[in-house]
Amino acid sequence: DSRTDTGLLDGLDPEQRAAATAPRGPVCVLAGAGTGKTRTITHRIAHLVRGGHVAAGQVLAVTFTSRAAGELRSRLRALGVEGAQARTFHAAALRQLRYFWPRVVGGPQWDLIENNKLRLIGQAAHRTGLSTEVEVLRDLAGEIEWAKASLIVPDDYPAAAARRQRDTPEPPTRVAAVYRQYEELKNSARLLDFDDLLLHTIAALEEHRAVAEEFRDRYRCFVVDEYQDVTPLQQRLLDAWLGERDDLTVVGDANQTIYSFGGASPRPLLEFPRRFPEATVIRLERDYRSTPQVVALANSAIGAARGRPAGSRLRLVGQRPDGPPPRFVEFDDEPAEAAATAARIRDLLDAGVAASEIAVLYRVNAQSEAYEQALAEQDIPYLVRGGERFFARTEVRQAMVALRTAASRAEPGELVPAVGAVLGQVGLTEQPPAGGSARERWDALAALRDLADELSRTVPDMDLPGFVAELDQRAAAQHPPTVAGVTLASLHAAKGLEWDAVFLVGLAEGTVPIQRADGDEQAIEEERRLFYVGLTRAREHLTLSWSLSRTAGGRRHRRRSRFLYGLLPENHPASRVARASGSSGPRAKVRCRVCGSSLMATIEIKLGRCEGCPSTVDEELLERLRGWRGARARELKVPVYVVFTDATLMA
Ligand code: ATP
Ligand code: MG
């Protein structure tokens, strides 16, 4: 009805509305972070569905990470759209392939190998006489993934690698040999990797007319979010979905291309208007997500980028009122950085910010360890995004095996008791154990039980086989059961998402940008875009931190990230640099200098122009602080950290 539709469109600005209400056909939105691209496409889908232009079930929306797909789904649900599909390319292909497999291939279904992929690559490397060290295998896996995403077969790999300006982990002909062996081993064992899901789906659509017709009858309206990161393989799948049709909406930001290392390219986004000359093309520049201070940092960060393609030079204009100044904090070492981050998160929680509205973002997954520990010490619930860990956990794998067995015995009955019984067999007790790794195992199994509970409510006919299929799907998409907690995620996994408070941690050279990018201009630019993606996730509170040494008390030989220079307070007077010194323990035992009693406390002493009070630097106080640090060996088991909030103390 037109009244609800007016309500729907009221939430959009004129440009967003033009994109949302454009007639069916090609639509392209080129715009920066936080300008409402995702909002525009969800509203477009809602508008088309509510207006009767397309049935919800005929809509297929795709994006690149499972969390972003989940975000699309929940935003669609909030707009009252039920039945439209929003998935990652991989999850969409997995689903389609399961459906078409009996017709196009037949025989038993395949198995996914993602968890055993390195082992298979190891076998392939062994056969070709190469080293099977895990680092080498990882590099080889990266090369094979790049080649497959770029639609390059083993025979063509050496020439393609030569054209690309990047070193190969081994001589190209040897990489090609491993790639060939890997494909053979995989095929003979009826195993598929993630890229095969797309390749087989493409083959089914391209080579089986009836399959293509059935598919094209089913899906009529395609939407791609984050289109700047499409690979040739994904584009080919998209083209196979479309056939001769052009009912395609794409949105993206070339400045957020962060997977070009893996074969992605913003070119299809930037060239979309040329490919579809009749397309509705919209540019957005109002940033609705972040405070003007965050927007200013984002503009500076990406303004410094080199070699940006035409069409990507957009300047964001903040729409929100001023917020707290972004904070820059330097630490002596990483444990101190993690502990102070956890302490600050505790403050935010105490101030009423929800845990699910806080994220700690880092460059590489290995960084999560320090933050997991620091958060656990403060009893702050957290959730590691990326999720590969969840489905790789031993107890989860055991539970999956047990659930699969139970499902195959055909189990009519209610889902929740059935799942509960199986989980009981693999060790889920009624009450959680006290702590440590037993508690972690319990939490993982309980997450499966909670998921069954949730699904039994939202999907009324869900049975045990359906539940197992759902778990497979989530495992393939690396989408763990949800838990309410602080998000720990890599910058890559954070794309498209937003939080009230964001901590960008580990902003030191060698991490951001990552070591291997050094000396390679294109790789450095990709790192810069990744940094920009990170900055633009924050709505209100943004903290950027780095540490000079990796280990507590280690040599301080790391420098702050080059990407920070244009952003520091001399260019952005609204932000502040703090300097944290010494290793920290959030629950350090300290002795009161006045009465002599001991207490557990986090010590944070603010000097200079601090946010909270008008205190100024005081030489005598500084002397006393030095005394405290010197005294820690004798008096304190856990070292104390001290925070200075005056930029002039940075030296
Ligand atoms: P990214 O590039 O990071 O994916 P995006 O362009 O997709 O960003 P959205 O996530 O759609 O941006 O929007 C950012 C935030 O701004 C969301 O919270 C969204 O609800 C809000 N927003 C977008 N457009 C409007 C608007 N017209 N009025 C109010 N809020 C808006
Ligand atoms: Mg988005």
Rounded to the nearest angstrom, the distance between the alpha carbon of 337 and the centre of ligand 2 is: 30
Distances (CA, A) of 467 to 70, 393, 403, 411, 453: 18, 18, 9, 12, 11
Is 38 known to sit in a ligand binding site?
yes
DSSP state string for 300-353: HHHHT-SSPPTT-----EE-SPP-SPPEEEEEEEHHHHHHHHHHHHHHHHHTT-
> Does residue 65 register a pLDDT over 90?
no
pLDDT tens for each residue of 160-207 = 999 887 788 889 999 999 999 999 999 998 889 989 999 999 999 999
Task: Write down the pLDDT at residue 637.
Answer: 28
Strands (E), 76-169: 85-88, 111-112
Please answer whether residues 306 and 275 qualify as being in contact, where contact means their C-beta atoms are separated by less than 8 angstroms.
no
In this structure, of 20-29, 58-67, 124-133, 431-440, the range with the lowest mean pLDDT score is 431-440
Task: Write down the pLDDT at residue 519.
Answer: 86
Q: Is the ipTM of this complex over 0.85?
A: yes
Round the average pLDDT of the chain to a whole number and report it.
82
Task: Write down the pLDDT at residue 330.
Answer: 86
pLDDT tens for each residue of 330-356 = 888 888 899 889 999 999 999 999 999
- DSSP helix/strand/coil, 59: strand
CA-to-CA distance for 204 and 210, rounded, in angstroms? 9
Distances (CA, A) of 128 to 123, 180, 184: 9, 10, 13
Average pLDDT over residues 314-319: 89
- Which atom of ligand 1 is closest in space to residue 16's alpha carbon? 27
Task: Write down the pLDDT at residue 15.
Answer: 96
Rounded to the nearest angstrom, the distance between the alpha carbon of 324 and the centre of ligand 1 is: 20
Ligand 1 pocket: which of 16, 21, 39 to mutate (most atoms <8 Å of CB)?
Answer: 39
Residue with tokens 């659509």: 205
> Does residue 19 register a pLDDT over 70?
yes
Strands (E), 523-615: 538-549, 576-581, 588-591, 598-601
Q: How confident is the model at residue 649 (pLDDT cuts 50, 70, 90)?
A: very low
- Which atom of ligand 1 is closest in space to residue 39's alpha carbon? 11
Superfamily of domain 2-95+198-284: P-loop containing nucleotide triphosphate hydrolases (3.40.50.300)
> Does residue 54 register a pLDDT over 70?
yes
Task: Write down the pLDDT at residue 571.
Answer: 63
* Burial bucket for residue 341 (CB in 10 Å: 0-12, 13-18, 19+): buried
Q: Which range, 12-21, 115-124, 610-619, is most confident? A: 12-21
For ligand 1, which residues put their CB under 6 angstroms from it?
11-13, 16, 31, 33-39, 253, 256, 288-289, 496, 498, 536
Ligand 1 pocket: which of 13, 44, 64, 288 to mutate (most atoms <8 Å of CB)?
Answer: 288
Which architecture characterizes domain 327-350+501-649 according to CATH?
A: 2-Layer Sandwich (3.30)
The protein residue with its alpha carbon nearest to ligand 1, atom 23, reads: 36
CA-to-CA distance for 140 and 118, rounded, in angstroms? 9
Rounded to the nearest angstrom, the distance between the alpha carbon of 496 and the centre of ligand 2 is: 4
pTM: 0.78
The protein residue with its alpha carbon nearest to ligand 1, atom 11, reads: 36
Amino acid of residue 324: P
> Does residue 467 register a pLDDT over 50?
yes
Distances (CA, A) of 579 to 332, 555, 602, 647: 9, 17, 16, 8
Pick one of 1.10.10, 1.20.58, 3.40.1000, 1.20.81 as the CATH number of 111-189: 1.10.10
- Which atom of ligand 1 is closest in space to residue 35's alpha carbon? 6
Structure-block tokens of residue 315: 């300047």
Q: How confident is the model at residue 483 (pLDDT cuts 50, 70, 90)?
A: low
Structure-block tokens of residue 541: 């509170």
Q: Give the start-to-end residue ranges of the domains of the chain.
A: 2-95+198-284, 111-189, 327-350+501-649, 388-477
Task: Write down the pLDDT at residue 205.
Answer: 95
- Which atom of ligand 1 is closest in space to residue 226's alpha carbon? 4
Measure the N-to-C terminal CA separation of the chain; round to a whole number of Å: 64
Ligand 1 pocket: which of 38, 45, 224, 269 to mutate (most atoms <8 Å of CB)?
Answer: 38
Please answer whether residues 580 and 340 qualify as being in contact, where contact means their C-beta atoms are separated by less than 8 angstroms.
yes
